[in-house]
Structure 1
Amino acid sequence: MRAAGWLVALSLALPQPAAAVDRPWPTVDWPVSAPEAEGVDSTALASLIDFGAASEMDSLLVARHGSIVLEAHYAPFRAGMRHAVHSATKGVIGTLAGIALHQGLLPRLDQPIVELFGDRRIASLDERKKAITVQHLLDMTSGIDWQEPLSGAPRTAIEMERSADWQQFVLDRPMARAPGEAFDYNSGNSQLLSALVGRVAGRSARGYAEEALFKPLGIRDLAWRQDPQGVSTGGYGLYLQPRDMAKIGHLYLRDGVWDGRRLLPRGWVDSIRGSLIDMRLGGVTPFRYANGWWVLPEYGAYMAAGYHRQLIVVMPALDAVAVTTGRGNFSFVELMKGLRAAMRSDSPLPANPKGEALLARHVEEATAERRSPVRPAPDLGRAVSRRWFRFEPNALGVQSLQLDLEAAEGSYQIELEPLRPGLPPRRLRGAIGLDGLFRVGEASSGYTAVKGTWTGDDTFVLLFRFVVEGGSSSYLLRFGDPRSVEVQFENAWGERTVLRGVGEGP
């Protein structure tokens, strides 16, 4: 899901799910192999690393024949951190529906959902709405009137977020067409699926996942948002480590069987691979959809996909799984081509010390931050340091800002509008890297990495990276004099605004 500006414009203001960067993380049990031992070309993987750096990835993982052959974390994201998987959550919710079906908790996929929500009074209950089945929700073909384009503002999803009861909001939506008629991307479908999984399992989708999916796969470190009724968000809101994302892909690669135990029904994975549901994306590469997963028939691949390319890619013919997390969009086709080019053989290749050295060097170069000389603050910089600037009401909710740009390590303080009337303003604070290296804030600031630099005598650029959320924002501050500032804001979602502030004191 594309997050709306009013939710993400200043993501650092929102406490993130606990994912502390300074605590020990649970180990994961993926074996690691030299690429050539699994028939993968190290030199081609080095090119994939460069592609990831140019594409604003936070992490890139490739596993083949059950072993990791490539793993990179682009700073300030690093190993052991969770990442927001955004709409890849839909693939997990689909997986849980499959497990519930296999366990007999979910009676059948062609069951009308109004029967499963029999305790609710549903508005606009015409014959088309009565015909919506569980499978329609899984395939995004419910016919519910919903505006959530894959590029553009997710208007109806925003309305759902603002509602007091998300399930009721979705159930009460009018119908745009008959169920099964066409694909329409709709996070509300997934929210209803999450609620249904919770109903038949007798607990939240998260609680059911921890027992039926995450425990068998050894996934212990996660976070998951919930709606006002405590239902795990179905369309987005799940946070996982990249290695654990890869485990879910490997479950699908093995036809829903994990460690000799079948978790998904027979035929579940085949129904995804053979899907004929057209996502209507246009272009020369067809995209299909089924059970919460995107399908690329031309490349023999399918994937759980989230905004800004949070991907779990499964390539059965290559016996491979790839995971990406990041902050920007890139070509799915280029990724698929790069993966296919790397998979040179089904059997081991000759040892390639030069290729492995090249790969190691590219990983180090692409994922390590580079320190730069600290530019001395200009005279104006010293005059504005530690001065509070007050702002008129604005879309970001910023009330005031203070920067200290004279110290060896810079710092910031931001006051934001209170969450509710009568509460005090929210205050955020943290360090600013002035040497080209991000400084990662504590949990209370949402694992926000910040750095900044003077680009002119009156211009300072402040960069925020939201390490767990995968977002970023930039603030170009132009000081007219020690008591006036114009702030040009832009974030990774393409939203822009301008704030003007007045400094306190003489």
Structure 2
Amino acid sequence: MTAATLRRRLPRRYPILLTIMLALAATCHSLASEAGSQRLSESALQRLKSEAGDISRLHTLVVAENGEIVLERTYAGPGSDQPANIKSLSKTVLAALVGAAIEQGVIEGVDQPVVDLLGPLVPNDIDPRVGDITVGHLLSLQAGLERTSGANYGAWVASDNWVANALRRPFVDHPGGRMLYSTGSSHLLSAALTQASGDSTLSLARQLLGDPLNIAIPAWLRDPQGIFFGGNDMQLSPLALIQVGELYRLDGVIDGTRVLPEGWVEASWTPRGTSAWTSDGYGYGWFVTRLGGEQAYYGRGYGGQALYVIPERALTVAITSDPMPPSPGGQFQQRLHALVETLLAPE
């Protein structure tokens, strides 16, 4: 809230109160900015540009510091303001949408059983333990059901009913057990959002994320029943991704409007499982790691799509890369980590 806004809202007979409130506001602003007091140097940005120029698959790189774009480069592919297929980075955006839906009362909370939300989409012949799977289990990829990703992905997306196919999978762990990376779990969230709201996931995303963040959310792939793909193939520009990252960096509040529930960011960035490939923690749609000695949170997608938030440095970084096979896999993700670390290196 600006000083001018305070003056408009306060009666003129309260000059002392106004002075106190302005002083408190200035103090709060100072404290909020303290995390970003270690400003990026020009040499750090030059190092980043040099390193990024050596990565042939890179399409775009955008860096924001304290909410301001300090680097915006397009090397290939669509520009930074154009939509790109963010692949499984969609899981991070979908998690934000679930949080926004909880804030608006579309979903009760993370402990709500998903079968209650899916209603008629639930087949009659499923394992009774499916009733124990909650919204939170799907967000943290701890449903316990056999994965639909990896070697199982092709058969799953070739099925005539993605929701039923995911729910009929055998249990390989209990709900809330180990992290099982499965796009089917994320797709169940999209179906749950559609059933609970009576609206499409696309329409809900535009209302609850697109409007408050002032970003465009184009349509993307749908399943055979017309449900928008949950957890893959969303189309967002790198600049739009920066806004999603900033929403989390600012604890779910944008321009004074609470978009995500209070405490959602902390809950999302609390590790609940561990990636079998990277050993990084995983919360609600976000991986948790340390980069350059700093706590870092990131979402990632096939082929080198990534979104990083480093709160203590007030940094948000969006990266898009060539999504076409063959994927460079985990080694390329480590190269993106190293790219971000060039910003964090001491001078």
TM-score w.r.t. length of structure 1: 0.56
The one-letter code matched in structure 2 to 1:52 is: A
Distance apart, 1:37 and its partner CA: 11
Distance apart, 1:222 and its partner CA: 2.7
CA distance in 2, matches of 1:84, 1:52: 20
Distance apart, 1:293 and its partner CA: 1.3
Partner of 1:262: 258
Distance apart, 1:297 and its partner CA: 4.5
Contact 2:269 2:284 in 1 (8 A): no
CA distance in 2, matches of 1:86, 1:69: 25
Cα gap change, 1:320 to 1:115, in 2 (>3 Å): same
Deviates more, 1:256-265 or 1:223-232: 223-232
Per residue, is there more strand in 1 or in 2? 1
Distance apart, 1:124 and its partner CA: 5.2
Contact 2:187 2:229 in 1 (8 A): yes
Decide which structure has the larger Cα Rg and report it.
1
Cα gap change, 1:184 to 1:341, in 2 (>3 Å): same
CA distance in 2, matches of 1:250, 1:79: 16
Partner of 1:320: 315
Contact 1:223 1:240 in 2 (8 A): no
Please give the secondary structure, in 2, of the residue aligned with 1:72. strand
Contact 1:123 1:172 in 2 (8 A): no
Total equivalences in the alignment:
300
Distance apart, 1:121 and its partner CA: 4.8
The one-letter code matched in structure 1 to 2:47 is: S
**Structure 1 moving runs of 4+ over 4 Å:** none
Match of 1:306 among 282, 301, 320: 301
CA distance in 2, matches of 1:281, 1:155: 15
Match of 2:284 among 285, 291, 309: 291
Distance apart, 1:79 and its partner CA: 4.2
CA distance in 2, matches of 1:79, 1:333: 20
Please give the secondary structure, in 2, of the residue aligned with 1:62. strand
Contact 1:83 1:240 in 2 (8 A): yes
Aligned residues with identical type, % of pairs: 32
- The structure showing larger relative contact order (alpha-carbon pairs under 8 Å, at least 6 residues apart) is 2
1:225 aligns with 2:229: no
Partner of 1:340: 344
> RMSD of aligned C-alpha atoms?
2.1
Distance apart, 1:278 and its partner CA: 1.4
Distance apart, 1:252 and its partner CA: 0.5
CA distance in 2, matches of 1:159, 1:292: 24
Partner of 2:114: 113
CA distance in 2, matches of 1:214, 1:245: 11
Gaps of 5+ in 1: 1-35, 149-153, 345-506
CA distance in 2, matches of 1:245, 1:223: 16
TM-score w.r.t. length of structure 2: 0.81
Partner of 2:248: 252
Cα gap change, 1:274 to 1:229, in 2 (>3 Å): same
Q: What pairs up with 1:23-422 in 2 under 5 angstroms?
A: 39-55=39-55, 56-122=57-123, 125-146=126-147, 148=149, 154-220=150-216, 222-282=218-278, 286-297=279-290, 299-327=294-322, 328=328, 329-331=332-334, 332-341=336-345
Contact 2:146 2:171 in 1 (8 A): yes
Please give the secondary structure, in 2, of the residue aligned with 1:300. strand
